[in-house]
Chains A and B, each alone.
Chain A
Amino acid sequence: MAEVTETQLPGVGVRLEFRTSNGTSVGVVVHRTGRREVVVYDRVDPDRSLAQVTLDTDDARTLAEMLGASQVNEALTAVQQRIEGLAIEWLPVAEGSPFVGRTIAEGEFRTRTGASIVAVIMGETTIPAPGPEYRFVGGETAVAVGTDEGLAVLEHLLNG
């Protein structure tokens, strides 16, 4: 991450500023009231802010989420996150999976693969820590934790 410099603006708030990798200076004036201004600087007169966008607290959050969104997606597409030998995997359960209509308990996944299903994502909703009685409907995504081999076996099982 680029170095962010902070300058106090007495009576107003603070100005944060950093230089992007292609050399443009970008600043944010954070007012005490929570209002924020995004500013970019003039090329000829680098002390002068050229354009500024004024954001209230809500707008700032929206912008932050828009900027952060790509990172979330990147994290999702990376799919695997290694924690000392453990991996997390997002496993889609196809409509045609042999386990549609059957419960997690019936699948005996933990016994067979060593991997646990820690969450199920269905469209917009997430079911954290689904019980053994959870019945697959097809089209959801199972979030599983286990070893690489265990997860590979689980993926194979789930989708026949």
Chain B
Amino acid sequence: MNGVLAASSGEATIAFIEIGAVITVLAVLARLAHRWRITAIPLYLLVGLALGEGGLVPLEVSADFISLAGEIGVLLLLLTLGLEYTPAELRSGLRRGLVPGALDAVLGFTPGLIGGLVLGWDVRSAVLLGGVCWISSSGVIAKVLTDLGRLGNRETPAVLNLLVLEDLAMAVYLPIVAALLTGRDAAATAVTVGVALAVVTVVLLASMRWGDHLSALLAPGSDEALLLSVFGLTLFVGGLAQRLQVSAAIGAFLVGLALSDPVRDRAAALVSPLRDLFAAAFFLFFSFQVDPSDLFGVALPAVILLVVTGAGKIATGWVAAARDGVAVPGRLRAGTVLVARGEFSIVIAALGASAAFGAELAALAAGYVLLTAIAGPVLTRSSDGLAGRLQARQDRAARAVAADTPT
């Protein structure tokens, strides 16, 4: 026993110091982010840029550990995404929100796809960039809605419904890109996509029908037992899915979907601290691989995508809120709050690490998330002022017209 401890001390000591120092820095940044009321994700990405390839102080020993922890972080992010909504919410989301959801897909996905092609990338990388631009950050948005006291607002159900639809869209999108990325010929890819979609559909339907059986199996016992079962199941299913070429992320997502009440709520509460820890490792690891000098190269495309897809999200939120009978200020709030992208854009970009333009995609995604994760919350906080100015201008115009009209 002593031998083991003593033998490992050299490398382990350095690793402890490195990891400890890095996590302490992240802790300070998380506090700052909380104070500034933004998500910590862009700050984590900046730390990763500084520590990774071509950064200021590259880590020597602990990079491997952070890489594995980051992989687990992806699984936990997807698990909690699957845990987030009840089957009933998914069903009613599908019923009520198809039109805004479709608009969201068109206005979010298309600019990324076109942008990728314009940059001269292959179709796979462009499809991934489409996904990066499409999926809003449910984590950031939920936090912003809570912080700004908007949960009781009338436009909020429309916003949350859009997030539900994006959640469902991920269930379709992820298997498709995973299959595309296996890089085989068209026929084999089509088969893989078909199999993956069939599996996702079966698991979705089964979880809506029989999810309570799995949950009943897990429900008794302590929190500790539940945490370990859910964590173990997620890694196990994720690993199996990866073996079957379906991407570990989807496996984890399906585990989340398959769990139902009352285990879902408990599991979500238990897993969330673990997720925060491992997800931080994921964001770090992701930006380790981005060369900071690449960021300058992608700055212009990132800004253009921010403007185009930001406008797209505002339009989507506007339409979704208008369908619920919400007035102009509420529509603007709904639109601006959707601008923030975050964890899932990074997850999608990370899937493409092996793609032909993986490095460029990673850099662009990092830049894009840096911009939107900060711009989104700032924009939505000032949206009421914006709406007021809009209203004032309309009033002035109306008065001018009235003054010009001879009586």
Chain A: which residue is nearest B155 at the CB level? Answer: A47
- The interface residues of chain B lying within 8 Å CB-to-CB of A41 are 152
Among A11, A29, A47, the residue within 8 A (CB) of B85 is A11
A47 touching B153 by the CB < 8 A rule?
Answer: yes
Say whether, besides A46-B327, A47-B330, A48-B329, A10 and B151 are in contact (CB < 8 Å).
Answer: no
In the assembly, what is the distance between CA of A148 and CA of B156, in Å? 56
A39 an interface residue at 8 Å Cβ cutoff? yes
- Secondary structure at the B interface, as helix, strand, loop or mixed, is helix
**Please, how many residues of chain A have a CB less than 8 angstroms from a CB on the other chain?**
20
Interface members, chain B 76-96 (any A CB < 8 Å): 84-86, 89, 92-93
- Interface size of B by Cβ–Cβ distance < 8 Å? 29
- Set of chain B residues within 8 Å of A12, measured between Cβ atoms: 142, 151, 160
Task: Give CA–CA (A37, B145) in the complex, Å.
Answer: 13
B:321-347 near A, CB below 8 Å:
326-327, 329-330, 333
Docked-complex contact A11 and B157, CB < 8 angstroms? no
CA distance A82 to B110 in the complex (A): 70
Find out whether the CB atom of B160 lies under 8 angstroms from the CB atom of A11. Answer: yes
Closest to A51 in B: B149
- Please tell me if the beta carbons of A29 and B160 are within 8 angstroms of each other in the complex: no
B→A interface (CB under 8 Å): 84-86, 89, 92-93, 138, 142, 149-157, 160-161, 163-164, 265, 269, 326-327, 329-330, 333, 384
Beyond A10-B163, A45-B329, A47-B329, 20 additional contacts (C-beta under 8 Å) are A7-B157, A8-B92, A8-B157, A9-B156, A9-B157, A10-B92, A10-B93, A10-B161, A11-B142, A11-B160, A12-B142, A12-B151, A12-B160, A15-B151, A33-B265, A47-B154, A47-B326, A48-B150, A48-B153, A49-B153
Which of A's residues lie within 8 Å of B, judged by CB? Answer: 7-12, 15, 27, 29, 32-33, 37, 39, 41, 45-49, 52
